[in-house]
Chains A and B, each alone.
Chain A
Amino acid sequence: MALLLHRRGITRVRPLEGGLNGWIERGLPLDAHAPIPVTAGREA
């Protein structure tokens, strides 16, 4: 993904350490996201 962006001229890319799980583990704030109607490859 970072490489993909780099090729398109977006060079200041910084991966978030630990991803969303790392963010959640530290108890940092989140916004709710509307559920997406996909379940293991099938439309819900």
Chain B
Amino acid sequence: MSDLLPLVVQYGYLVLFAFVTAEQIGLPVPAVPILLGVGALSGTGRMSVAVALGVALLASLPADILWYELGRRRGGRVLGLLCRISLEPDTCVRRTSDVFARRGGAALLFAKFFPGLSTMAPPMAGASGIPRHRFLLLDILGALVWAGAWLALGYVFRDALDPVIATASRVGNGALVAAGAVLAAYILVKFVRRRVFLRKYRMARITPDELKRRMDAADQSVVIIDTRSPLDVELEPFVIRGALRIPSEEIARRHDEVPRDRDVVLYCT
């Protein structure tokens, strides 16, 4: 353990800053294992929970503020952009807006605990018109609660993490290479799964131009359904001409309204 500790202590905060920043930007990089490790090292007196909290806050705030301001200026379009790089582009905006519709700005307090929602929450807060001072307060509290919880877990269960750190120290710098390889494999698997999913889903997609052509031709074999949540509709109070409004949470109750013998075009934000 003593061989690796100087390296981790020396670069620990930098690694923590990099991982938290990357995760808040929206990259598929998990910051939680780093927080747990820093928490465990704090328990041995080699690092400081207070400094780690400050670093985590400094790392998350710039990205959050940037997403908030983009959401404030561009509204739902920013959410659409973020969702285009997610695994489920047609449902992720709705899921996030549903959380905001249910919890309001308080969703920022726990958003960081949920992958995806963590990055989506700040632009949604901006698009929802939550004032800057309220956003900053809730976002800072949310970051402190999130980082504090994982640091505390690492601190309390440092003895359980000890063997892991001890093994890593025996391997020496190879541990860093191994960790890098695991991270690279993780990102590769996420990337491949996303590509496979998107390829399968895109096969059935319809472009706006094709839909417009079919509408202009008075094509009766197509029906359009607007699946946005009430909050999304409030942000963009328009519908595509002739669309049925069936929010996704109502589909179980209202699916009989959807014709079975036509192409059903779904859209959200």
Question: Does B182 reach chain A (CB closer than 8 Å)?
Answer: no
B258 contacts which chain A residues (CB < 8 A)? 5, 10
A17–B234 Cα distance when bound, in Å, is 21
CB < 8 Å A-B pair total? 141
Question: Does B28 reach chain A (CB closer than 8 Å)?
Answer: no
Question: Does B217 reach chain A (CB closer than 8 Å)?
Answer: no
A1–B234 Cα distance when bound, in Å, is 21
A24–B268 Cα distance when bound, in Å, is 12
A34 contacts which chain B residues (CB < 8 A)? 237
**A-side interface size class:** 35 or more
A19 contacts which chain B residues (CB < 8 A)? 80, 89-90, 93, 267-269
Question: Does B248 reach chain A (CB closer than 8 Å)?
Answer: yes
Q: Which among A12, A17, A25, A30 is the interface contact of B263 at CB below 8 angstroms?
A: A12
B contact residues vs A (CB 8 Å cutoff): 76-77, 80, 89-91, 93-94, 100-105, 128-130, 201, 204-209, 211-212, 224, 226-228, 230-231, 233-234, 236-241, 245, 248, 251-252, 255, 258, 260, 262-269
